[in-house]
Amino acid sequence: MELGLYTFGDVGRDPVTGRITGPQERLNNLVEEIELADQLGLDVFGLGEHHRPDYAVSAPAVALAAAATRTKAIRLSSAVSVLSSDDPIRVFQQFATLDNLTGGRAEIMAGRGSFIESFPLFGYALEDYDTLFAEKLDLLIKLAEAEHVTWPGGEHTQRIEGRGVYPRPVQDRLPIWIAVGGTPQSVGRAAMLGLPLALAIIGGEPHRFAPLFSLYREAARKFGRDPSALKTSINVHGFVAETSQEALDTAFAPHADVMNRIGRERGWGAAMTRAHFAEAAGPLGANFAGSPAQVVDKILANHEIFGFDRFVLQMAIGVMDHGRLMKAIELYGTRVAPEVRKAVAAREAEPAGA
């Protein structure tokens, strides 16, 4: 099983110290975090695209390219690329360029986006939310399949007649994951297209999302695909510290600051409290904050439920101290990842029916 990290590059005021972190500082710290994750043997690091004042990463491929020549093995991915409001050709070219810089370690995680700022920014209508993504995803897949592309054009894309798209990636085919947030139609689309599925679980009880993976695998069979050949991932919130108390103490304030700000924008109602946060970090909750042993146990419990191939943790939620975050990455890489890999390998080595 692959283990990784992702972040959006939060900027702004630290809710604990009041210190302000700007884009320049956050992006430079981010490169150090990716470099450390690579040195520790983690498998993947993803950056999410946002167009808001509270996030530094609006161009994931550029930020990942900054880490490309300072890393050796870790895969570098968007998490996600908001394909609906972008040009699929440019997205492909950017990540093909990244693939060349890294010797074949680039991936695209494509999604429709959980925020809407990019739509008016780039001149798209929100009522086209679904059709934009579907049409542009189809074109992106065509770009990954062949050097020369013929495309009939559509409502949101131009006609292309046998044009070459360059550079080509180092990998035979640039990996494209579909990121979903719990919509069955999106899960079915990924299965139909034969693309790996990344499921974001940021609230509730994770086991309630397991039917989506069952739906994905069953839909794959109906479309004549081998479910065992299609990768799956869960992407969750969390934090690792020496003790569970330290993890909760460190992660709560920045996490609550972000979720309550978004909640006010979206009218979610009651603010997140420390009690809510602690409950979510419990055995059945969606937050993977805790000591290394607790996080290991929770990952393994969810792996038994979902059978995923990749686990990706978002630890940098909100503005937090860079040193604490680097320590959390160290614990994740040295004490969580090895134990999870060992346990999963042991499970897979057990005879059938044991």
What range does the domain containing 323 cover?
A: 2-349
Sign of CA dihedral 218, 83, 95, 323: negative
Rounded CA separation 156/154 (Å) = 5
**Is the residue at 12 inside a domain?**
yes
Q: Which tens digit of pLDDT belongs to each residue from 304-319?
A: 999 999 999 999 899 9
Does the pLDDT of residue 17 top 90, yes or no? yes
Q: Which amino acid is at 9?
A: G
CA atoms within 13 A on the CB side of 351: 2
Residue 38 placed within a domain: yes
What pLDDT, on the 0 to 100 scale, is given for residue 114?
Answer: 83
Nearest to 316 by CA among 308, 305, 324: 324
- Two tokens, residue 13: 């005021």
Residue 199 sits in a domain of what CATH number?
Answer: 3.20.20.30
Domain assignment of residue 17, yes or no = yes
* pLDDT(354) > 80: no
Which pTM was predicted? 0.97
Q: Is residue 344 part of a domain?
A: yes
For residue 182, name the pLDDT band (cuts at 50, 70, 90).
confident
Residue with tokens 């397991």: 210
Quick check: is 90 in a domain? yes
Dump pLDDT digits (tens) for 225-280. 999 999 999 999 999 999 999 999 999 999 999 999 999 999 988 899 999 999 99
Q: Is the pLDDT score of 169 beyond 70?
A: yes
Q: Is the pLDDT of residue 162 over 70?
A: yes
Q: Is residue 354 situated within a structural domain?
A: no
Residue type at 158 in one-letter notation: Q
- Straight-line distance from the first to the last Cα atom of the chain, in angstroms, rounded to the nearest whole number: 21
Tally of domains in the chain: 1
Q: Answer yes or no: is 238 within a domain.
A: yes
Which pLDDT band, with edges at 50, 70 and 90, does 113 fall under?
Answer: confident
